[in-house]
Structure 1
Amino acid sequence: MDDSPNRLPPLLAALRAAARAAGFIMSSEDRTGSLLATLAASRPGGRILELGTGFGEGTAWLLSGMDRAADLITVELDPAVQGVGRQLLGADPRVSFVSGDGGAWLEEYDGGPFDLVFADTWPGKFTHLERALELVAPGGIYLIDDLLPQPGRPKDHEASVHDLLAGLDRREDFRCVRLAWSSGLLMAVRTL
Structure 2
Amino acid sequence: MDDTPAHLPTALPVLRADAREAGFTMSSDDRTGSLLAALAATRPGGRILELGTGVGEGTAWLLSGMDPASRLTTLELDPALQAFAQERLGTDPRVTFVSADGGSWLEDYDGAPFDLVFADTWPGKFTHLDRALDLVAPGGTYLIDDLLPQPGRSRDHEASVTRLLADLDERKDFRCVRLAWASGLLMAVRTG
TM-score above 0.5, yes or no: yes
Give the TM-score, by structure 1 length. Answer: 0.99
Task: Give the CA deviation at 1:154.
Answer: 1.3
> What stretches of structure 2 of length at least 5 have no aligned partner?
none
CA distance in 2, matches of 1:48, 1:135: 10
Amino acid at match of 2:64: S
Q: Which residues in structure 2 correspond to 1:56-71 (within 5 Å)?
A: 56-71=56-71
Task: Give the CA deviation at 1:152.
Answer: 2.0
> Which residue in the other structure is 1:151 paired with?
151
Give the TM-score, by structure 2 length. Answer: 0.99
> Which residue in the other structure is 2:4 paired with?
4
Task: Give the CA deviation at 1:23.
Answer: 1.4
Structure 1 runs (4+) greater than 3 angstroms displaced: none
* Larger mean Cα displacement after TM superposition, 13-22 or 32-41: 13-22
Task: Note the alpha carbon deviations across 1:169-191, whole angstroms, 9 max, x for none.
Answer: 11100000000000000000000
> Which residue in the other structure is 2:23 paired with?
23
Q: Report % sequence identity.
A: 77
> What stretches of structure 1 of length at least 5 have no aligned partner?
none
Q: CA RMSD in A?
A: 0.5
Task: Give the CA deviation at 1:117.
Answer: 0.0
Amino acid at match of 2:15: L
Task: Give the CA deviation at 1:167.
Answer: 1.1
The alignment status of 1:190 with 2:184, answered yes or no, reads no
Task: Note the alpha carbon deviations across 1:84-119, whole angstroms, 9 max, x for none.
Answer: 001100000000000010000001111000000000
Task: Give the CA deviation at 1:42.
Answer: 0.3
> Which residue in the other structure is 2:120 paired with?
120
Task: Give the CA deviation at 1:76.
Answer: 0.1
Q: Which residues in structure 2 correspond to 1:1-192 (within 5 Å)?
A: 1-192=1-192
